[in-house]
Structure 1
């Protein structure tokens, strides 16, 4: 799908530029990215009702059906991948029914015991026959001795017959248990291959669902690509150390360097903590921001806003040619956060009333260290008796302020997103820009580790 292709392009750009990032200064990193292939789109200038932004020109029922089909196919692929992984583990571990293994072990022991008993009976029969022969050859042997030796041979023959039958039965039991166990092991392999075939079919279904969505958007007609350019330039400043259990302010400036007014601008911000080893990170769910909470504020509204998702854009409104927007970011580090390296990154994106839109090919990043909290020196008790208090308030987290709430400067203009649809396009770009910011920071970490290992 187009938006997914844009996301893939941004991610590819982010993870292929760690060396450039490392060569940049700590407070301002410029990272060139390749031009976007197919991505989020906008109507040609002059056309009304941008598809995907204004629903009047779309068959929403069909779009919803196609999106649902894609989501279902995608989930099916993920489920089958997980199942296939488990099937492989079962094959490697011979994870058959434990009762089959128990029976096989018991049957094997019984078969061995039966063979031993048969051999013992055969030896006893041989000894009995030898004794009878000796008695019969002895001229002084009494009839009673001959009769007793003959009875011993008969008893030995009976015992051997019984032992032979028991050994045969034990052998049949062992063969049946062994066959059942082997069939169960073979079934594990067959189940793996059946799941493998299902996965291939599901991947074809997913490709078909994606192609159907692409075809849907292609049929809308009159589209042009959003661009990746340097229309917006971002800069970050902040403290070099933030203690666990405290908050600190960072200053973000997004400047319009396009040479023309931009109708709707947003910033995508990320704050992550780099792990000691990338091998310990779940690739599908890295969760690198689990100890961080971000809030943002501009001087115009004076209120702190939670950044619930690091892919959600911060809407800055229009920025005139040469103007800029200043945002204060407040990072709160959980008290349980371990000491280590942290990165705050930011990228800009824009959309205009004429249908043009784009993502900045430059993004800013700022490195800092998460340090252990500094224990406060106890304050001596005052000599005067303090007045009684009804309750005691818990101490607030320490906050290191390094940036003032500077006003948003936009060349004389400041306002909410234009109600023309230009701003509505930005959430589509936010995921791509956000992925580039987050994965770009991850790429920095990988590059550092590789350099350290060299």
Structure 2
């Protein structure tokens, strides 16, 4: 039943884009539900519970690994870590070596200045002593320079070692964090799948039932614009179980003869029963009231009245009927398809003469053994005050799945298919 709704909604745009529906008509006509062409086994709740437990364990393990990586990162990058202490000591040594070289270079400069300042008549032994001091200072400067280079290299290596360790720890932490995020996503997916499965078990999806039928009688095959046509809708419950609440779905679609101008707004549909207190307009979801307590093996008849506006142009029309239900035990379902009744709108003032009733193009008539719903079993089979209250109060989450919840989209799409079919056959 869901697939029927989805396919019909998918072609809704064709009403305003007829070329699209013409090209897609054959494909739509031949389309089969995916469930019929590709069977897929759904996991059981037990299997989903197992998967959720495994995903939780994987997440817990990833979280623990991330905690280890975080602690390792904090320890590695701390100023008190062995590598950072080593790098700091090496940097201090390099600083001392730089200072020593600076002092040694100054000693060389000072010795050279003293030697140069000696007078020309200085004693040879004084000149020799100054020269020796300069040479010794130069040797010390060479040693200081070598020591500085060694200390600088040592400090650079120690700093690189500490930096490399920091980077490795950061990369390990990042990897652990990404693994945790991935595990969390998998856990959330598994938890959601389990929750959805449990919810679905509590609120089963609606299933179509071919033994629930909706049949129109007395709808003229030709209706003159500006006139009213009375007919009836019979809902028959042959499902083998009683139905608590059922919504009859009714929608009328029409176009002019070109098939491009939609004239639905010129068709006005009302319903009436003994309990309704007169004629009522179908609601915004094209529901003709609510049938309460339709017992198995019985049917219920309701009166329908179609008013065609005098401004309605001549052209083809189609009536769609269906039924969808929800029971107190949350089971739900409906007719497998929309039943279609084609009719023709004639220009205002036309004298059509004898007119045959419209014939259904889909659906089945009631079986002879069904009986009318008696007043003893349902004194008020239609309860208009409760129309739509299931969705508002949350009594059943299945209600939005019904055709009634998406009636307009459903029938507009079906109407587009109808128009395309007529065009392909050359009727208009």
Question: Which bin holds the TM-score, normalised by the shorter protein?
Answer: 0.3 to 0.5
Q: Which has the higher helix share?
A: 2
Q: Considering only CA atoms, is the larger Rg found in Structure 1 or Structure 2?
A: 2
Give the TM-score normalised by the residue count of structure 2. 0.45
Give the TM-score normalised by the residue count of structure 1. 0.43
